[in-house]
Chain A
């Protein structure tokens, strides 16, 4: 049977989102941060509700009150931590050690909360990863990376993607990722070559600059390090953009639901161009173009996404599942954890 091709579409508009964004910020300030939980839900909803697949939008259904409770709990934990660290400096290392086994639990809780509150056609997504596996992926593998001088890093990326995707489900249907470890190593191998080429280029530039603007008496122009950093930043962004693009394409192109195969066609050049122009626009506009930058990025990422299906999209059945609390999500937010999908 010939598969049907269905693209994802993004309908969000920068002007409309700007208004929602600025009202969110103002109300968050006026309410001393309490409204930020509602602001978060409204922002997420705007992006989910504007993402369409086959004439149906995605839904974000989280309860702001739960997010607020999660945030307050995180705040309380941080205050306790800071107080203990200030009063008993020796205890700080112990606290950090204690947090290590909690970390995988936080990741699982955050994914559970996010997936449970994401829906499409009134069927929720689910996450069901178990703790020991998460402990291996998020604590065991990073230790392995340290011992192998980074050689295990591509394997870590693969294991992370595999853990997230294989434990996700839409209704009762499980996702599955079939990309191999070798494919991940190939991406990082190429990235390493790009990085080496970059370093050589920058070294060459630096030498030329050194000759050009280094002062005649042999001392260093104080602006030189800043100039080098500025030169280096776009190159670094290129390597980062390459890894992001290729890893995203690789994992999504090998992701399946029953009768469905996903497809991602991101291009490194376009992603880098978006990163670069977005950063520039945000700085020049003193932050006012943040909503525009976010919409632009979402539009491109979603436009590159599609699926091929050999069945119809009516076949999915909802699952009974426990509700999730927001605490994991909020700890994750606070620590700026990129769960990555």
Chain B
């Protein structure tokens, strides 16, 4: 026999009645208040799952409810009558320090694996299975936006343009022909010396980049890097990875903080810039191989990277929030691969 002090609510009005609840081994349950008493059976009670030390609810079949603070006694009743097995398991998980620590480590490991392998793998698979016109459509929209926001008309001589375009075709002669490569020339005061790879095969060179380059090989090195972005479908993949990361973070923290809050936005941005830096390194590796094939010394590539850094006056310490790895790290990585 287990007896607990409780509060009774009939479900029809908000009146609170103190009662005593008595459980018998036979399964009979007695509910006794100052004014009256009545009985029920354990089978007809629905006992809420334990949740920390919050007050326990016991629902009766007629819509009335009993509340008690004596969680331990109710747990003993549940064990004795074999009620609420799966739910009580949950409470033992939450109560035990070792399990909680294990849950913490497992969660951290899953998040790390998801960001490091899961998201990039899914994005790569999806990017490779999407039809080519998806990339073309993306590129078209991006180019229209860039043209209206950043670019003005080029002042590069059309003969120079044609010559560079011809060299681009040579450079890409051995690629898989999935993309049709074309050079676009634009002027931009805001971007300075820069090159952009659009999904599907368009590469944009700014006038300032052509001014900056000391020779033709340096431009070809930049092109090789941009071809790397296009061949690896980095545009589409980063779009997919960024949306997947945002979804992943929101799914993880969604119940906890709203998607728009700083505590979700900040880790998302950090992960996205990390992905972007990984893509830059991947494009660098592609460029080195391509330059090797064309017998263009890799020094042209490291030289133009240094020139670009100088022209933008970038602070090499400012790495974590940057979309590109620091130039000295890129150059070190390139020399490593040449050994």
Which residues of A are at the interface with B, using a C-beta cutoff of 8 A?
11, 13, 16-26, 28-29, 33, 36, 39-40, 42-43, 45-46, 49-50, 55-57, 59, 86, 89, 120-123, 171, 215, 219, 221-223, 226, 233, 279, 282-283, 287, 290, 294, 313-318, 333, 336, 338
Please determine whether A336 and B259 come into contact, CB atoms closer than 8 angstroms: yes
Ranked nearest first, the 10 interchain pairs of A and B with the lowest CB-CB distance are A122-B9, A49-B54, A316-B14, A26-B103, A122-B65, A314-B15, A121-B14, A16-B52, A282-B263, A19-B94
Which of A29, A57, A221, A317 contacts B54, CB < 8 Å? A57
Please determine whether A279 and B262 come into contact, CB atoms closer than 8 angstroms: yes
Chain B 1-18 near chain A by CB (<8 Å), digits 1 or 0: 000000101111111100
Which residue in chain A gives the minimum CB-CB distance to B315? A222
At the interface with chain A, which of B210-218, B250-258, B275-283?
B250-258
Given contacts A122-B64, A279-B262, contact A314 B51 (CB under 8 A): no
Q: Which parts of B177-212 form the interface with A (CB within 8 Å)?
A: none
**Number of A-B residue pairs at CB separation under 8 A:** 126
Question: Which residues on A sit within 8 Å (CB–CB) of B54?
Answer: 11, 45-46, 49-50, 57
Which residues of B are at the interface with A, using a C-beta cutoff of 8 A?
7, 9-16, 51-55, 57, 63-65, 67, 90, 93-95, 99-100, 103-104, 106-107, 110, 134, 137, 251-260, 262-263, 266-267, 313-315, 318, 321
Given contacts A49-B51, A56-B67, A57-B67, contact A22 B107 (CB under 8 A): yes
Q: Could you tell me the distance between the alpha carbons of A311 and B24 in the complex, rounded to whole angstroms?
A: 39
Which residue in chain B gives the minimum CB-CB distance to A119? B65
Q: Could you tell me the distance between the alpha carbons of A28 and B314 in the complex, rounded to whole angstroms?
A: 43
Please determine whether A36 and B11 come into contact, CB atoms closer than 8 angstroms: no
Please determine whether B134 and A86 come into contact, CB atoms closer than 8 angstroms: yes
Which residue in chain B gives the minimum CB-CB distance to A220? B313
Please determine whether B53 and A23 come into contact, CB atoms closer than 8 angstroms: no
Q: Could you tell me the distance in whole angstroms from the C-beta of A93 to the nearest C-beta in chain B? A: 15
Which residue in chain B gives the minimum CB-CB distance to A281? B263
Given contacts A16-B53, A121-B16, contact A290 B257 (CB under 8 A): yes
Given contacts A45-B54, A46-B54, A279-B262, contact A20 B16 (CB under 8 A): no
Please determine whether B14 and A123 come into contact, CB atoms closer than 8 angstroms: yes
Question: Which residues on B sit within 8 Å (CB–CB) of A316?
Answer: 13-14
Which residue in chain B gives the minimum CB-CB distance to A286? B267
Please determine whether A317 and B12 come into contact, CB atoms closer than 8 angstroms: yes
Add 17 more A-B contacts to A19-B95, A20-B52 (CB < 8 A): A20-B94, A36-B251, A46-B51, A49-B51, A86-B134, A122-B64, A123-B11, A219-B313, A222-B313, A290-B263, A294-B256, A313-B14, A314-B16, A317-B14, A318-B13, A333-B254, A336-B258
Question: Which residues on B sit within 8 Å (CB–CB) of A49?
Answer: 51, 54-55
Please determine whether A33 and B251 come into contact, CB atoms closer than 8 angstroms: yes
Which of B14, B99, B254, B267 contacts A314, CB < 8 Å? B14
Please determine whether A57 and B55 come into contact, CB atoms closer than 8 angstroms: yes
Please determine whether A23 and B134 come into contact, CB atoms closer than 8 angstroms: no
Question: Which residues on A sit within 8 Å (CB–CB) of B14?
Answer: 120-123, 171, 313-317
Q: Could you tell me the distance between the alpha carbons of A282 and B99 in the complex, rounded to whole angstroms?
A: 23
Q: Could you tell me the distance in whole angstroms from the C-beta of B100 to the nearest C-beta in chain A? A: 5
- Of the A-B pairs whose beta carbons lie under 8 Å apart in the complex, a sample of 25, sorted by A's number, is A13-B52, A21-B256, A22-B103, A23-B90, A25-B103, A25-B107, A28-B251, A29-B252, A36-B255, A42-B51, A43-B255, A46-B52, A56-B16, A56-B67, A122-B10, A122-B14, A123-B13, A171-B13, A222-B315, A226-B321, A282-B257, A287-B267, A294-B256, A317-B14, A336-B260
Given contacts A222-B315, A223-B315, contact A22 B104 (CB under 8 A): yes
Which of A29, A55, A314 contacts B107, CB < 8 Å? A29
